[in-house]
Amino acid sequence: MKESFVFILSLIDLEGDLPIEVIPKHFFRKANTEQTSIIKELLVRLHPYPWHRFPYEYSLREIPKEEPDSSQYEYVELPQKDWRYWIISFEGYNSEIQDLEFAAALLKNELELGFTVLGDVPGLSSGEGGGYIWHMPSMMSYFLDDPHGTKSAIRICPEDIQEIGANYTLIKGTSAEHKHIQRAFQRFDTLKSLPRKSELVVIGLFSVIESLITHCPKLTESSDSLMHQIRTKIPLLRKRFERPLDYEAFFDPAKEETIWLKLYGYRSRIVHGEQTDIDSGLQILKTRENVIAFLRETVKLLLLLGLKEPVLLTDLKRC
């Protein structure tokens, strides 16, 4: 079988020497002309709005308007050499792609992998050559989150790509004794199938956090509640996180304990079917998008810690 590749769904800009070997025999690079043609054909097939222009071929330029806090954008076509069709190429089968996807999701500016093309496919419509694999729910969710392609490209560097490889090595080294960490990865990945700004994503992210650091509470002890466990354990674990958990990047300034109380209060409103607007009682949380972004970063940092210090996380889970 000739070279296969997985398409990088995320819109990214990268500068540095290419290709970069992510893991042995898997190379991060720009798609060549033939691969780009295949990617575009598959995007037409798989995109929920195939008549829209694809964001990989243009940039957006903001046009300020006279009204305060108002602006509009215009599309600026990119020269073909600057198109953002990035891939990870490999030979053989796609047995490592799932773990690479988990590893790429742990970056601060996480990368999302799209469809995988197996073998050299000169013309998919001809039915000859290899084939392709994709996960429809997560791809639909990704594109529906930004149907008009107005998000800015993520800037990454070669060190980020190398970090994917380092994360992958940690994932491969996870012991069977810590299956709850492996299950947490699966659940975190599954959330991509939901609408990205859904209330259910908030519940799902909380469930991953709880699965990693909490035990089933004793109903007779208020100090054993899930909320108590989270607001006391996160500050301890945060000191060992791979990177700082910057509360003020997401929320209004407040004490760490206060923020977790508000977050858990928001979670409770959702699960009990109450009004879930970010009102005056939860104002420091700003928006649901901020809540989701913060919880995703918290989950990523907990997963990284679990990969590096699984015994610590497992022991603390029992406390």
pLDDT at 296: 98
pLDDT at 186: 94
Q: pTM (2 decimals)?
A: 0.90
Is it the case that residue 282 has pLDDT exceeding 80?
yes
Is it the case that residue 126 has pLDDT exceeding 90?
no
Q: How far apart are CA 116 and CA 133, in angstroms?
A: 5
Query: What does the pLDDT look like over 179-217, one tens digit per residue?
Result: 889 999 999 999 999 999 999 999 999 999 999 999 887
Query: What does the pLDDT look like over 213-267, one tens digit per residue?
Result: 998 877 655 556 888 889 889 999 999 999 999 999 999 999 999 999 999 999 9
Which residues, 6+ apart, have CB-to-CB distance to 115 below 8 Å?
6, 7, 42, 46, 132, 133, 134, 139
- SS3 (DSSP) at 70: coil
Mean pLDDT, to the nearest integer, of 99-111? 97
pLDDT at 128: 53
* Peptide bond preceding 19 in cis form (omega within 30 of 0): yes
Mean pLDDT, to the nearest integer, of 293-315? 95
Whether residue 37 contacts residue 44, with contact meaning beta carbons closer than 8 Å, is answered with no
Mean pLDDT, to the nearest integer, of 125-136? 71
Query: What does the pLDDT look like over 138-157, one tens digit per residue?
Result: 999 999 998 878 888 999 99
pLDDT at 221: 57
Query: What does the pLDDT look like over 1-25, one tens digit per residue?
Result: 478 999 999 999 998 899 999 999 9
Ordered by start, the domain boundaries in the chain are: 3-163, 175-318
Mean pLDDT, to the nearest integer, of 274-287? 88
Query: What does the pLDDT look like over 51-100, one tens digit per residue?
Result: 777 899 998 877 777 666 666 778 889 999 999 999 999 987 788 999 99
pLDDT at 59: 86
DSSP 216-254: PPPTT-GGGSHHHHHHHHHHHHHTT-SS---GGGTS-S-
Q: How far apart are CA 141 and CA 46, in angstroms?
A: 12
Average pLDDT of the chain, as a whole number:
89
Q: Which residues of 123-140 are buried (b: 16+ CB within 10 A; e: fewer)?
A: ebeeeeebebebbeebbe
Q: How far apart are CA 221 and CA 231, in angstroms?
A: 16
The helix or strand, by DSSP H or E, that contains position 34, with its residue range, turns out to be helix 33-46
Residue matched to tokens 């330029």: 61
